[in-house]
Structure 1
Amino acid sequence: MSRRYFRIVTEHPVAVMLIALLLCAAAAAGIPRLSFESDLRIYFSPENPQILSLDRMEETYSKVDNVLFVLAPKNGVFNNRVLSLVQQLTADAWQIPFSSRVDSITNFKHSYADGDDIVVEDLVPDAKSLTPEQLDAVRRVALEDPLLRHRAIDPDGRFTGINVTINIPKGKELTSVPLVVERVRALAADIRVRYPDIELYLSGVVMMDNAFAEASERDMQTLVPAMLVLALTLMGLIMGSLAVALAALLVLTLSIVSAMGLAGWLGILLNPVSINAPNIILIIAICDCVHLLAGYLLGLRNGEDQKTAMLNSLQGNVKPILITSVSTGIGFLCLNSSEAPPFRDLGNITALGVLAALFFTLTILPALMILLRAKVTATGSNRIQGCLDRLALSITRHPARFALGSLALAVGLGAGIAKISLNDEFVKYFDDSTEFRQHTDFITDNLTGIYYIDYAIASDTDGSVNDPDYLRTLDAFTGWLRLQDEVLHVNSITDIYKRLNRNMHGDDLAFYRLPESRELAAQYLLMYEMSLPYGLDLRDRINTGKNASRVTATLRNLSSAEVLAFDARVQAWLQAHDTDIRFSEGTGLTLMFAQIGMRNIASMLTGTAIALVVISLLLVLIFRSLKYGLLSLAPNLLPALAAFGIWGLLVGQVGMALSVVAALTLGIVVDDTVHIISRYLHARRALGYDARAAVRYTFARVGSALVITSIALSGGFAVLGFSSFEINAGMGLLTALAIALALLLDLTLLPALLVLMEGSRRVAKNTAPEPAPAQSRSDAVNAISTH
């Protein structure tokens, strides 16, 4: 940036503001193009092998999106009143938009022998007319049938579920999910009014998709205002001027509006993760404003007129602001290495916001400050500066102690990484305060799990599902699954074949086994399918060619590591029983989220390495020194290491979201390093100070601003910790922790290393006096422009 441009800003502020506002308006025109999506599938890219496997499974059989109603009556399920309610709710659920199937204990297709015939009918044809004997019979069948137990009824008959399969057309989720949820909640509200003694709980994939959207809406309603209040408070207290705070607020608002508009023009989608981009942009924009405004207000306090103060502040801060904006943008752009598209969207939108904040900080802000008459008052930064002066003096006297102490602290804390385990339970993405989490926890504790894995078992010959060898292999696999501690329920067609075989032998329990011949099995299956009504056929279990079937294992609440270990045992069993029958890899959201965590860690390690190399090369070029470029690695890498170590000691688990924090923070924490080394090099090269004097000069010139911006950044990200959405809360808290640790290391380790590396060597023959905080700004306005 040339001095000529700075003079244009200070001499023609109105024109500069109008041009900047017009550009903002052009960018903001893209906001109507933004759209929001909250489907769980957004966390998987289209080429992800697990999402492709899930798509194939759903194309072959049916979708697994569902709404689950669970009733918890005080006196158990098996009485006329409760069963009548189940029957009525089953009928009403067919009216839910996009419903394609409804399963409950009342419409369960029960088969039994009637002479030489098999009767297939609802387990409960008319709940109101059931006699006590019939109620006992219904109870016995429901609790004994493996297809119902731990799925539609608990083993004690206290709770029951009505599962509604929802088939929303692809691409219509944004408008369709709210319609489904609205109808579901209306049904639930009506039941709660008519049956106040019966508790009702809601869960399922569709309710989870809606919970993602509602969590984002809550965050926008609470966290964004909290961020704005934080920004105004910090700017007002630190700068000591309401006019300055309002000017900065305008820059923050324009940066966010421009970034969101550009995202709309570029077709970037909003989701529960990327919706936090405005919050992050707001905090990062504060840092740009602080550096420019701090220099401007200091000039005013030293007696400079407004134009001179702003001109000097622009000249002295433009390069550090530019460098830090570029490095921060690089860090966020490296989120494109993430396996999860929402984090890519977050990185891209935030990077756009960083560039917008840079633009408006160097246009709107200086122009507006020229037009405003800011009153200068004493601020809290004076007290901060006094502490920093004493710290600088101690570091320059005892650099080895500070270097060894801060290194030992960072490495010691980093050792806590060994205690970290990977865990992505998507239900626990929501905290205990959300209705979805509360309802789902109750259901998993009392009735059934919502975590499942599907396996497809296929043969090359059409109709082979009726082959005895196929059925025996399928039955062995089903039986093995039911023996596993992780499994609550298994849905397999072998249970239907066994029941039909028993029915055909007068319901003799001795014949509860698979048919002995292919012809007999085919006859049973045909007869059974012809008795099934529309919507309750076997298409969700058997493919159209009848050469493959789906086995679904419903699991208890498991960590990601436990899910992966379970699936590994399944694959080992399938390989050990290798026959002509083909087994697919497991699929389902449970397994997919467990796998993407590991994939995301691997991809983000690559992304972080790329960010590190690019930022390091940038610093080497800017500092014109390989030595200082390499020296900057320590304070840039150690904060993330120590932060993850503390997280491992206090929390112990990380998920998909936290794997992006290292790359995210790398671009942010480098800001402090850039400002410190830039001022230090100016003192060494331009002013001729020795290392100790240069460190004290650096603390006097940028120390307060660095503390202020770090407080703003840490506080802003910490606000995300109040999100009810764990992905955002965890990412915010860990990032805030890393930024706080970065400030600590930049104010202790980095200056100590500078002193130890340079000793008392000078780069100029003259002996410069030791600078003091009150020294005139005339030496500092060209802080890094001269090297």
Structure 2
Amino acid sequence: MTASERIARLILRRNRLWLALLLAVLAGLAAGLPRLEVSSDNRAFFGRENEEYRQLLALDATYADSSGLLFLMVPPEGTAFEPAALEALRRFTDAAWQIPYVLRVDSAANQSVSRAEGDEIIVEPLLEEVTPEAAARFEERLMGLEEAVGRLVAEDGSAYGMSVQVVLPEAEGTTEEVVGHVRAMIEDWRADYPGWEFRVTGGMLGGLTLEQVALDDLLRLVPASAAIVLLLLVFLMRTLVGAAVTLAVVLSGTVATLGFAGWTGVVLTAGTAISPLSVTVLITASSIHVMLSWMRKREAAGPDAAAEEALAENLGAVTVTNLTTAFGFLCLNFSESPPLRDMGNIIAFGLMVGLAATFVMLPAGLRFDRREHAGRIPISAALMERLAGGILRRWRWWLWGFPLAVVVALTGIARIGYDDSIYRYFDDRYEFRRAADAITEKLSGLESMQFSFHAPEGANVFDPEFLRAIDRFSAWLEDQPEVVSVSSIAAILKRLNESMNGGDAAFRTIPDSREANAQLMMFYEFSLPVGMDLTSTIDVSRTQTRLIASLRVADSNETRALADAAEAWLAENEPLLDAPASGLSVAFARLSQRNNQQMLLGLGAVLILISGTMVVTLRSVKYGAISLAPNLVPAVLAFGLWGWTFRDVNLGSTVVTTMTFGIVVDDTVHFLMHYLRRKRAGLDAAAALRDTFSVVGAAIVITTLALMAGFAVMTLSGFVINQHIGALTVFVVGFAVLADLLFLPALLYAFRGKD
């Protein structure tokens, strides 16, 4: 009696004991479910050691910390500067001051302008009384303000923008309070001004949308995936009992995954909430191998004996496949992003509990099914054996066809770029994304790049040479095609100096003394509307100042390239400034690239772990090496196809190769273990391959269909990271079944005489 047979007998003869222990463990894990939390923090994707994250914290500590809301208000076409529209704009601005915890409201309706009259500087509101004459004057002045165009008014004058800053106390629920007030306010506007279009976006709304996506995926897609996989299982395997028992096994893995997250303090995000879906699909794949083996055994034995034999036959292969899959997910710990690391850990844990449930629950449940099913399976052993014969007749085609396909795929991989934007992480089913697209179209881009400049020792931000260096850098930035506008104190001081000198453009320069610059800035601060100050631009010690460039970029490749170019330009031309590019857009752009580099280490680790496991399992270095080829090829083909079709990848895409390597090994393990058993029993290579196809071929096809159907559900997520993971995994698994059924047999046949 083999070790697998002894273990199978022990499991089934003490089944009630093992079942009680398993249920006790699941009950303990389920107690962690109430501890689960869902994060609405878009910075959760950054580790505390992340350089860009530390830069964001430094900006928060240096300048006024507030959360922003950006409104878009589009009046009926051609009416933006009519008195009625301007009265409405005033009303919108006044209403914004009623938002809870508001610090500042910045709109075209509350801007001031300055002009010189003799020795006096006159400050007056941009929008005075609302008359046809005043409206015409307002249009002329507003469209002439560089800092307003593209931010407070569209370049073509067809829409208005309004920026609102709020300071949230640490009390729980304040974000929801602010967002609820804003949404109610907009609904009132829509009711009172039916011809207008209103949109709003901002960090708070993005965070709540992240939370909503996580809940949507957890509560909708995870059950949908389980239902689809189980329906597919019923259709292909014709067993309601098997489907019911598989559902129990799947629920065990799901409870384990989420319970483990609750007990270990893993906060669910839009990236981790989908984890139970992966566990559901992968556990189902293991169950399919055991069930198909049981169906074959039922033709010659009773249900009890068939269950024991099926478990013994699959014990080793199912254990190895779950371990290799867990290795793949555990190697996500090489990722730079905490949610991806968390996802790998909780899925790996769920798989191990699911493995135990597969061995304890599934054979016990199948013993209650008294019917024979093998003859009903659409993918018959005879069909798979005929397929094996066709493959063996043309084995050289497949042996050379796959390497050729890899070469073609590499050209597609060369086309791949990165696109990581917090706004484009959501699809247009969410208002946050629709608002972002509308605001980007009408006003400036929502992406930004920030630089915090520190004045030289002994100086302050009003030092003329320091300001001129900022001005030269601003001019360089403004010349870049991705830059919409640049905001800095240098631009403010130049405009003020021009106003102080009668509007003479010759004086649009930085004054020559610190004192003059300080006086101008003090005058500017006094002229700001109520609620506005300089703390978002200059620190309290007056030794640091922030420059913000608004961007309109196609993807994060452009953001990252611009950040690199700006830093290089500063190092070469203005070493006095010496500041890194910062901001959330830059942080996400660089995170994806660095995460890809880290995941190469993860892929190396998983290759070593799985290769070692395969060598030990197969008891052959040769076959361990052969097993790598059909498992590396699918990821290359998948990313090559992606490069030729969708092209851009994101943070989630970078983990797919490491994650799926353990998944695609599963069918290779079952194929090779059965093939080697037959060869070691005395069959030649051709006969062993035909027998392997007839015995495990149907299981490979059905598990592949289940995996593809399950992960395809991820593409229905509103979160683009999950969409990419789902779609790429479907591609990888699809190519994997082709590699296992075409390329692997060709390799084995090519090396048939070299044991």
Q: TM-score, normalised by structure 2?
A: 0.95
Structure 1 residue 247 and structure 2 residue 249: aligned? no
Structure 1 residue 543 and structure 2 residue 539: aligned? yes
- Distance in 1, Cα, partners of 2:460 & 2:406: 62
Partner of 1:522: 518
How do residues 298-447 of structure 1 correspond to structure 2 at under 5 angstroms?
298-302=296-300, 304-370=301-367, 372-377=368-373, 381-447=377-443
- The letter for the 2-side match of 1:331 is G
1:577 to 573, 578, 594: 573
- Distance in 1, Cα, partners of 2:612 & 2:531: 62
Classify the secondary structure of the residue corresponding to 1:102: strand
Q: Does the CA contact (< 8 Å) of 2:5 and 2:309 recur in 1? A: no
Q: Does the CA contact (< 8 Å) of 1:455 and 1:583 recur in 2? A: no
How do residues 525-604 of structure 1 correspond to structure 2 at under 5 angstroms?
525-532=521-528, 535-578=531-574, 581-604=576-599
Classify the secondary structure of the residue corresponding to 1:275: coil
- Distance in 2, Cα, partners of 1:379 & 1:533: 82
Deviation at 1:727, TM superposition (A): 0.9
- Distance in 2, Cα, partners of 1:188 & 1:60: 33
How do residues 433-472 of structure 1 correspond to structure 2 at under 5 angstroms?
433-461=429-457, 464-472=460-468
Structure 1 residue 89 and structure 2 residue 92: aligned? yes
- The letter for the 2-side match of 1:553 is A
Change (3 A) 1:218 1:374: farther
- The letter for the 1-side match of 2:700 is L
- Tell which deviates more after alignment, 113-122 or 537-546: 113-122
Deviation string for 1:556-596 (max 9, x for gaps)?
123222222222332233223335x3231110111112111
- Distance in 2, Cα, partners of 1:188 & 1:262: 41
Q: Does the CA contact (< 8 Å) of 2:112 and 2:529 recur in 1? A: no
Classify the secondary structure of the residue corresponding to 1:426: coil
Deviation string for 1:724-765 (max 9, x for gaps)?
221111111111111111111111111121122123x8x9xx
- Distance in 2, Cα, partners of 1:640 & 1:499: 56
Partner of 1:186: 184
- Tell which deviates more after alignment, 614-623 or 411-420: 411-420
Deviation string for 1:392-436 (max 9, x for gaps)?
112334433332233333443344212222332332222233322
Q: Which runs of 5+ in 2 are unaligned?
A: none
How do residues 604-615 of structure 1 correspond to structure 2 at under 5 angstroms?
604-615=599-610
Structure 1 residue 698 and structure 2 residue 692: aligned? yes
- Distance in 1, Cα, partners of 2:651 & 2:304: 49
1:752 to 741, 746, 750: 746
Q: Does the CA contact (< 8 Å) of 2:242 and 2:365 recur in 1? A: no
- Distance in 2, Cα, partners of 1:535 & 1:376: 78
Change (3 A) 1:483 1:684: same
Q: Does the CA contact (< 8 Å) of 2:236 and 2:378 recur in 1? A: no
> RMSD value over aligned CA atoms?
2.2
Change (3 A) 1:582 1:312: same
Partner of 2:475: 479
Classify the secondary structure of the residue corresponding to 2:110: coil
Q: Does the CA contact (< 8 Å) of 1:636 and 1:666 recur in 2? A: yes
- Distance in 1, Cα, partners of 2:412 & 2:41: 35
Identity of aligned residues (%): 36
Deviation at 1:12, TM superposition (A): 4.5
- Distance in 1, Cα, partners of 2:99 & 2:80: 24
Partner of 1:29: 31
Q: Does the CA contact (< 8 Å) of 1:462 and 1:545 recur in 2? A: no
Classify the secondary structure of the residue corresponding to 1:70: strand
- The letter for the 1-side match of 2:162 is I
Deviation at 1:4, TM superposition (A): 5.0
Deviation string for 1:135-193 (max 9, x for gaps)?
222222221112111111112221111112244467x7x84443332222111111101
Classify the secondary structure of the residue corresponding to 1:738: helix
Q: Does the CA contact (< 8 Å) of 1:543 and 1:549 recur in 2? A: yes
1:38 to 26, 37, 40: 40
Change (3 A) 1:634 1:169: farther
- Distance in 2, Cα, partners of 1:102 & 1:65: 12
- Distance in 2, Cα, partners of 1:466 & 1:379: 86
Deviation at 1:497, TM superposition (A): 1.7
Structure 1 residue 731 and structure 2 residue 733: aligned? no
Change (3 A) 1:380 1:726: farther
- Distance in 1, Cα, partners of 2:406 & 2:464: 64
Classify the secondary structure of the residue corresponding to 1:632: helix
Change (3 A) 1:121 1:352: farther
- The letter for the 1-side match of 2:311 is L
- The letter for the 2-side match of 1:59 is A
Q: Does the CA contact (< 8 Å) of 1:431 and 1:437 recur in 2? A: yes
Change (3 A) 1:756 1:510: closer
Deviation at 1:217, TM superposition (A): 2.9
- Tell which deviates more after alignment, 271-280 or 513-522: 513-522
Deviation string for 1:3-47 (max 9, x for gaps)?
455334433444433322121010111111111113221111111
- Tell which deviates more after alignment, 376-385 or 595-604: 376-385
Partner of 1:80: 83
Classify the secondary structure of the residue corresponding to 1:721: helix
2:115 to 112, 116, 136: 112
Q: TM-score, normalised by structure 1?
A: 0.91
- Distance in 1, Cα, partners of 2:121 & 2:464: 22
Partner of 1:102: 105
- Distance in 1, Cα, partners of 2:375 & 2:583: 57
Deviation at 1:533, TM superposition (A): 5.5
1:232 to 230, 233, 238: 230
- The letter for the 2-side match of 1:577 is N
Deviation at 1:700, TM superposition (A): 1.5
Partner of 2:293: 295
